[in-house]
Structure 1
Amino acid sequence: MRRSFYHYILTQRGHNVGDPVEDFAANVAKDNNFPKQSQDYHELSSYLELSVNYLSSMDLFDQVWDNYQENNQ
């Protein structure tokens, strides 16, 4: 069974403090409204673009999404 993006990103917390991916993961963990069950790129990217201010660049999301896709086959 494929895991959601939320479950994947939580595995990225605590590895390299100060790393942009770690910071992104920590902020997602604090975001009560994050779509926790989603595996859909468009749903997640829309949410991040329109609803949060903790992601400075969508390029970071795209990088993490690529890693999620590779690790979630």
Structure 2
Amino acid sequence: MDRSFYRFALSFRGGAMDDLKSTFAEYMFKDSSFPKEEKSFDPLSRYIEEKADAKMPSVVFDELFLLYEERFL
């Protein structure tokens, strides 16, 4: 599996402003320190909980990661 979570989540950018996945992706894109090459849940989850913007809630991350796992892992 060559696709990182970051690259997967970027596919949600550009959606409606009330779409939480789209908002998450937009703020993730603007976060220069987001772990762009990471594919594993634990390091990504830790980053979201400890360092991410409030517009990137862990509930939305969990939903996105489940979709990521279904498609790429």
TM-score (normalizing by structure 1): 0.88
Instruction: Tell me the alpha carbon deviations over residues 3-61 of structure 1, each in whole angstroms, 9 at most, x when there is no partner.
Output: 00000011111133321100000000000000000001000000010012334631211
- After the TM superposition, which residues 10-49 of structure 1 pair with which residues of structure 2 at under 5 Å, given as runs? 10-49=10-49
Q: Across the two proteins, how many residue pairs are aligned to each other?
A: 73
Q: For structure 1, which runs of at least 5 residues remain unmatched after alignment? A: none
- Displacement after TM superposition at 1:63 (Å): 0.6
TM-score (normalizing by structure 2): 0.88
What's the RMSD between the two structures over aligned residues? 1.5
- Kindly tell me: are residues 46 and 2 of structure 1, through their superposed partners in 2, closer, same or farther at Cα, counting changes over 3 Å? same
Q: For structure 2, which runs of at least 5 residues remain unmatched after alignment? A: none
User: Which has the higher mean CA deviation after the structures are superposed, 14-23 or 40-49?
Assistant: 14-23
- Kindly tell me: are residues 28 and 57 of structure 1, through their superposed partners in 2, closer, same or farther at Cα, counting changes over 3 Å? closer
Paired residue secondary structure (1:7): helix
- Conservation of the 8 A alpha-carbon contact between 1:5 and 1:36: yes
